[in-house]
Amino acid sequence: MADLLLEIGCEELPAGYIRPALEQWAGLVRAALDEARLGCAGVKTAGTPRRLAVFAAGVREAQHDALVEVTGPPARAAFDAQGSPTKAALGFARTHGVEPSALSVKKTPKGEYCVVQKEVKGRPAADVLAEALPRTITSIRFPKSMHWVTGSGVTFARPFRTLLALLGSRVIEFEINGVRSGRATAGHPFLSPGLIELPDASFDGYLDLLRAHRVVADIPARREIIARKIGERLAAHGSKLTEMELLDEVTNLVEFPNIVEGAFDEKFLALPQAVLEESMKSHQRYFPVHDAAGRMLPRFITVINRDDGCAAVIREGNQRVLRARLADAEFFLHEDTRRPLAGRLEQLKGVTFQAQLGSYYDKVQRLKALAEALAAQAGLPPAQAALCVRAAELCKNDLVTAMVGEFPRLQGIIGREYAVRDGEDAEVAAAIAEHYAPRTADDALPATITGSVLSIAEKFDTIAGCFSVGLAPTGSQDPYALRRAAQGIIRILMEGRAAVSLAAAVAEAAMLQPRGLPQAEGVQERILAFLRDRLYNYLTDKGYRYDQVNAVLAAGFDDVRDVRERLEAVASLAAEPGWEDLVTVVQRTFNIIRNSDVAGDVDEGLLCEPQERELWAILKAHEGAVRELAAARKYRAASELFARAFVASVHEFFERVFVNVDDAALRRNRLALMKRINSLYTERIADLSQIVIAEGP
């Protein structure tokens, strides 16, 4: 047994690539060892921006001899009618150095094949691994990878310059992209430049040697050092480390972690907090510093890749960088707030939303009208509706501020900050930021009613406009992120605080678009079909069965919360006894009418058989009650009543009455009766004819 140590020494890898790459590589090495019949007792990993390392303990130094089964030609090609080996079989035996008598036949899923059991001599691990290891390296996948050697097909996240491969004290020799494997690795590029050699494949030895050369290769250890150092600094200010995502990122930005605390001028605290955070965290990877009460302090902490001894110089440099960024932001704030946010509307005329859909000014005019209409639909009081219209009027104005030009991700948030400074209603200000929400599938929804209305107005407008000019999503193409917009509408209506009719909202949004757009014809139907698909995805993602979702959507989807209620009723009924009987009623009544054009209503005078008169009586007795329960959205109760009324009676009817009689009037009348029973359920609750009943064992 020996240990195996591998390291890829590369130019700086993106921080987010390191952990996933190590996980993959460890898995690939383990699989390669198993496949090579060398095995291992366990794997460990280490990594920095400049190296990925995998260690495997207890690897066999040579393969055991083994019997390997090799598959040859199909049996019918290998043996003739008499069972004698054919030319093909003799050739196969010769290739593998066995007598034809050693061939046998094996059944496989693809048919019968000629096989041979072959003794394979075990080879030294170093030889096997020299062949197997390069593939583990070139099989690591990154979100983005690159070529760097002319004519080579090998790609990696960044160029690698050294490869270390030791089995015990021996080098496993191979070459990839002109780099030969060896026993050398690099220390810290500035604090301990040059290559260092490892005597053998000890993991602790590797970590210790690197530590001596100013590299902490163990990721959890590095993270812990940074967390402790930052924690100590924050404790002095009364706060704790909470930025865990940033901590993970900076852990993989350095090899020899240290921190520096810097300060900035207190006057910059007057900047919107989002601007300060964006400047520090996403631009510079600095940790903001708060006091015990959560107030931001004019300080920051940055992680460095150097000794403490350099801290003073590095602090000064970083302070200068942040000062420049914040001075820039202060300049923007000063310029932007020389006039109120509301005064920027005219400027939006110069900003095109989409060539055929006009400028953002045009869009804002549409949003005002649409927000007002949706507020009315949602039954909001006039004062609330007025807030929606005001928020619509202001919501795009921050697009022409210098601050959003500089910090595009803060669109909406800057609008909110400026609205607050202008003394706009707090809910209007909040809605300006919220109208972009939800930005992702799991992003928070608008918290205010005004923000909810404006958010769905904005999304309906974009969808209606884009569909009208032929920008509907196709396949992977969705440049205006309309699927995400539709998902946002559904989430807000389903989980949020506003309720509107999809059809009415689509009609209103489509009506507000400019005249004469190329694909305006039939656009409402196409949008509703698109929304139906998104609703289907939303509900199946929530774990509902696809057939139940389809059944419920078939009975209408104008009110998405009503869809959810009907679906919940159907899903709960489906888990109970009696479900199949209910489905059967709907399916049988559906099957009998599906190919007939049933016109007119039931003519009582034509009901002649006792079972059909009985069924008619039951229908008349319960139809009203089922309708009322459904209208009151008591879908379980409606379903139960429907089932009580019709399970036995419909069954009895089909047992005794023949529907498709020759007498046209009688036939039509019976079909009309079936249709009425069927529609009573399918039009208002769910079209259960779409339900797939799993076959029993």
Partner 1 sequence: MNFQQMIFQLQHYWAERGCVITQPYDIEKGAGTFNPATTLKALGPEPWRAAYVEPSRRPTDGRYGDNPNRLQHYYQYQVILKPAPADSQQLYLDSLAALGIDLVEHDVRFVEDDWESPTLGAAGLGWEVWLDGMEVTQFTYFQMVGSLEVDPICAELTYGLERLAMFIQKKDNLFELEWAPGVTYGDVHHEDEVQFSIYNFEQADVAMHFDLFDKFEAECQRLVRENLVLPAYDYVLKASHAFNMLDARGAIGVAQRTAYIGRVRKLARLCCEAYLKRREEMGWPLLKGGAAT
Q: Can you give the binding site for partner 1, defined by CB under 8 A? A: 11-16, 49, 144-151, 157-159, 161, 178, 190-191, 253-254, 284, 286, 302, 304-306, 310, 313-314, 316-318, 320-324, 327-328, 331, 347, 350-355, 359-360, 399-400, 405, 479-480
> In the bound complex, what is the minimum distance in angstroms from residue 480's beta carbon to partner 1?
7
Q: Are 360 and 348 in contact (CB under 8 A)?
A: yes
Q: How many CB atoms lie within 10 A of CB 485?
A: 22
> Exposed e or buried b for every residue in 227-239, given b needs 16+ CB within 10 A?
eebbeebbeeeeb
> In the bound complex, what is the minimum distance in angstroms from residue 492's beta carbon to partner 1?
23
> In the bound complex, what is the minimum distance in angstroms from residue 7's beta carbon to partner 1?
18
> Dihedrals φ, ψ of 617, to 5°?
-65, -45
Q: Are 107 and 115 in contact (CB under 8 A)?
A: no
* 179-182/160-167 β-pairing: parallel
Q: How many CB atoms lie within 10 A of CB 645?
A: 21
> In the bound complex, what is the minimum distance in angstroms from residue 61's beta carbon to partner 1?
33
359 vs 384, beta carbon nearer partner 1: 359
311 vs 641, beta carbon nearer partner 1: 311
Q: How far is CA 546 from the centre of its chain?
A: 20
Crossing angle for the helix pair 449-468 and 360-377, nearest 10 degrees? Answer: 120
Distance CA 605, CA 598 (A): 18
> In the bound complex, what is the minimum distance in angstroms from residue 12's beta carbon to partner 1?
4
Strand, helix or coil for residue 66: strand
- From residue 572, give the alpha-carbon distance in Å to each of 429, 487, 557, 642, 681: 42, 25, 19, 16, 16
Locate the DSSP E strands across 109-203: 111-120, 160-167, 170-171, 175-176, 179-182, 184-186, 195-197
Distance CA 363, CA 366 (A): 5
> In the bound complex, what is the minimum distance in angstroms from residue 494's beta carbon to partner 1?
29
Compute the residue count for the chain.
697
> In the bound complex, what is the minimum distance in angstroms from residue 432's beta carbon to partner 1?
17
What is the DSSP code (8-state) at residue 280? I
> In the bound complex, what is the minimum distance in angstroms from residue 157's beta carbon to partner 1?
8
Distance CA 246, CA 233 (A): 16
Q: Are 80 and 91 in contact (CB under 8 A)?
A: no
> In the bound complex, what is the minimum distance in angstroms from residue 145's beta carbon to partner 1?
8
Q: At CA 492, angle to CA 487 and CA 497, rounded to 5?
A: 170
Strand partners, 176: 179
Token pair, residue 511, equals: 């009506």
Burial class of 287 by CB neighbour count within 10 A (0 to 12, 13 to 18, 19+) = buried
Distance CA 617, CA 62 (A): 86
* 51-59/104-108 β-pairing: unpaired
> In the bound complex, what is the minimum distance in angstroms from residue 536's beta carbon to partner 1?
28
Q: Are 388 and 371 in contact (CB under 8 A)?
A: yes
Q: Are 175 and 162 in contact (CB under 8 A)?
A: no
Crossing angle for the helix pair 610-631 and 635-656, nearest 10 degrees? Answer: 170
> In the bound complex, what is the minimum distance in angstroms from residue 51's beta carbon to partner 1?
14
> In the bound complex, what is the minimum distance in angstroms from residue 88's beta carbon to partner 1?
44
> In the bound complex, what is the minimum distance in angstroms from residue 411's beta carbon to partner 1?
10
Q: Of 377, 373, 375, 345, which is closest to residue 361 (Cα–Cα)? A: 345
> In the bound complex, what is the minimum distance in angstroms from residue 341's beta carbon to partner 1?
17
All residues at 6 or more sequence positions from 75 whose CB lies less than 8 Å from its CB, including other chains? 105, 111, 112, 113, 114
